[in-house]
Amino acid sequence: ELGGITPVFHAFREREELQTVMEEVSGGRMHYMFNRVGGLKEDLPAGWLGRARQAVADVRSRMDVYDRLVLGNEIFRARTRGVGVLAPETVHAFGVSGPIARASGVDFDLRRDEPYLAYGELQDTLRVVVRREGDCLARFECLLDQTHNSLELADACLDRLAELPQGPVNQRLPKVLKAPEGHTYAWTENPLGLNGYYLVSKGEKTPYRLKLRSASYNNIQALVELLPGTLVADMVAILGSFFFVVGDIDK
């Protein structure tokens, strides 16, 4: 967004290496629907753990490129330090979450505070990255540092997978699954913030109501506090630092 396109081209390489092992195990390139109700569709391909571990190691060995090429760039730091400062009060008022909220000192992460899936077993590896400045630079630092920790979490998961005993990977289910009558809410910590899922069931095979809460939709609401009175050049930096997904906000 700030004109330094070189790191993006470097990142294509890391993305392709990680996507290759994810596509191999799930069959999907964008949406990795590997786990499902009842377990897994099928077991891991032979030798996949080794290939996945190698991919994580290769990406980790090159992460210093982004530390030096972006964070070490004096122009990038000048364009982002002190720009678009988001106060903690604004974070709470608009329901901002994820690395954007943590960059403003709001220390909240569901993976630690309300563990789900295997996160309860990964507390010794999980690091919740927090900054206090709340500016564009802090938001990028949180996201980049979070990427480092994601690689560590991936290694920890691969270690646990290697220790799992042999056994079935799924179970037989009826052809039609019916959610019990009632309502439930689940939320997860996604790369850009909190995703929420509110489900209402009447005991039928399709939900009566389903409401999704996407992270980006709430996060960008805070722009009404940050953008008025800023320079156009700073607006570009602020929008980039919110790294939102357009599909999340196009409602």
Sign of CA dihedral 212, 147, 152, 22: positive
- Mean per-residue pLDDT, 16-31: 89
* pLDDT tens, residue by residue, 178-202: 889 999 999 999 999 999 999 999 9
Mean pLDDT for 127-147 is 95
DSSP E strand boundaries for 3-92 = 35-36, 39-40
DSSP annotation of 73: -
Report the top-level CATH class of 6-173+232-249. mainly alpha
- Return the pLDDT at 13: 93
Question: Residue 4: pLDDT above 80?
Answer: yes
The domain ranges of the chain are 6-173+232-249
Q: Looking at residues 71-89, what average pLDDT do you find?
A: 94
- Nearest alpha carbon to residue 130 among 112, 109, 155, 151: 109
Q: Is the pLDDT of residue 23 over 70?
A: yes
**In which element (H, E) is residue 58 found?**
helix 48-61
Q: Tell me the pLDDT band of 251, cut-offs 50, 70 and 90.
A: low
pLDDT value at residue 5: 86
Query: Quick one: pLDDT band at residue 31, thresholds 50, 70, 90?
Result: confident
SS3 210: strand
* Three-state DSSP class for residue 65: helix
Give residue 236's pLDDT.
Answer: 93
State the Cα–Cα distance between residues 70 and 49, nearest whole angstrom. 31
CA distance 128 to 44: 30
Provide, rounded to the nearest whole percent, the portion of the chain with pLDDT above 70: 100
Model pTM score:
0.90
* Beta-bridge partners for 197: 186, 212
The pLDDT assigned to 249 comes to 85
